[in-house]
Amino acid sequence: MAKCLSCGRSSRLISQALPVCLNCIRSRFDQIRPWIEKAHRTSRLDFGLPTKPPRDEAGVRCRICVNQCQIPEGERGFCGLRENRGGRLFHLGGTRERGVVSWYHDPLPTNCVADWVCPGGSGTGYPRYSYRRGAEYGYENLAVFYEACSFDCLYCQNWHFRKRKPSEGTRTAAELAAAVRERTACICYFGGDPTPQLAHAIAASRLALKKAEGRILRICWETNGSMHRGLLREIAQLSLSSGGCIKFDLKTFDERLNFALCGVSNRQTLENFRILAGLSRKRPDPPLLIASTLLVPGYIDRKEISKIARFISSLDPTIPYTLLAFYPCFYMHDLPRTSRRHAEESLEAAKEAGLKRVKIGNLHLLSDEY
């Protein structure tokens, strides 16, 4: 049990890593911001990463994501993959040629945020985009894990990639495309996050689609949505044409809460989601755009879910939305799992906001406590 450093409230729904309560984040953000910045400074320094997006007026600018880093000479950008070498942007990974990445083949249907509405898990889009009327048993997903991120989520479920340095090995786009096999029905890019390495993923996707010409190969993404708008349109076109989907992790709606939990702004994420909602009307089946939110106990409550759901509903109430159960991890390992009551209240809030397709994911992680 931790105590909020601002109001003094003690609760097991306050993490020692972020010792401020949700109410104070919402109502006293400027006052508690130093504690929030300290939490992220700790999580970054532990892995040798910049403590915040650099803002050196004389630095070289990277425009790949929302952070818009201005990197000082000899230092790195927030994602850890870009350096200023002699006034020029040097890429340690994430170019069209090489990426800091790993992959594996996952039998379909798989544990995917979108499995209940995507061609691989439900047969939507058959026969143009799916091999079967139902789940694609006998086929596989090429799961591609990009080892970098534009956010700093204190509860990251896949944080182990931070232990590896970019210098420990990169793979070419051609090597990744070559991993597509005869029974590979889709490629899903996740991480970390694919955002810092989208150039590599786009190049690999085009090679893979050329290799699989004449058959189904869907291109899918799971992302925090913080990429530059030009890159967003490139990945949207790949997914639209191939029958793939783009899964946006809407971690919060409130920008202050996003800073607290993830270290950076979510403005670009929400704007990019708005753009994709418009593009998704070009291909309603299977759905292009899918949203998800991790139900972090003590921080993502019914009120926050209601805000997110109203935002989605205002764009298109048929956009699928998955509410994911939280498992204690990374710096927020001291929080409990999402309770069944928390999940059901969130589901009710999302439906009340007007959403037509909402689901609770990771049911096996739900707890009956608190």
User: Which residues pair with residue 188 across a beta bridge?
Assistant: 143, 220
Q: Quick one: DSSP state of residue 194? A: S
In a domain, 206, yes or no: yes
- Asked if residue 82 belongs to a domain, the reply is yes
List the structure tokens of 258: 């996003």
Domain annotation covers residue 187? yes
Q: Which pLDDT value is given to residue 370? A: 66
Please report which helix (H) or strand (E) contains residue 272, including its range.
helix 267-279
Same structural domain, 106 and 67: no
Give the helix/strand (H/E) hosting 337.
none
User: Last residue of some domain: 62, 91, 120?
Assistant: 91
Residues 204, 310, single domain; the answer is yes
> In terms of domains, do 150 and 22 share one?
no
Between vectors from CA 365 to CA 118 and to CA 9, what angle results, nearest 5°?
120
Same domain, 208 and 324: yes
**Residue 268 is assigned to a structural domain of this protein:** yes
Range of the domain at 6: 1-46
For residue 152, tell me if it sits in a domain: yes
- Specify whether 109 is located in the same domain as 209: yes
Joined together, the tokens standing for residue 91 give 């890429």
Asked if 27 and 60 sit in the same domain, the reply is no
Final residue belonging to a domain, choices 91, 121, 150: 91
Residues 87, 138, single domain; the answer is: no
C-alpha span between 37 and 229 (Å, rounded): 27
Residue numbers of the chain with a pLDDT score lower than 50? none
Residue that has been written with the tokens 């508690």 in this structure: 32
DSSP per-residue letters across 164-184: S-GGG--EEHHHHHHT--TTE
| Contact of 65 with 196, CB cutoff 8 Å | yes
pLDDT at position 166, please? 83
CB atoms within 10 A of CB 249: 21
> Are both 211 and 236 inside the same structural domain?
yes
Specify the 3-state DSSP secondary structure of 188.
strand
Q: Give the total number of structural domains in the chain.
A: 3
- The CA–CA distances, whole Å, from 175 to 96, 129, 172, 210, 251 equal 12, 25, 5, 14, 32
CATH (domain of 199): 3.20.20.70
Instruction: State whether 114 and 76 are in the same domain.
Output: no
Query: Is residue 238 domain-resident?
Result: yes
Choosing from 30, 59, 91, the residue where a domain stops is: 91
pTM of model > 0.75? yes
Residue 370 lies in a domain: no
Tell me whether residue 170 is in a domain. Answer: yes
Q: 57 and 40: one domain? A: no
Residues 102 and 184 in one domain: yes
- Reported as a single tens digit per residue, the pLDDT across 225-266 is 999 999 999 999 999 999 999 999 999 999 999 999 999 999
Q: Are 274 and 163 members of one domain?
A: yes
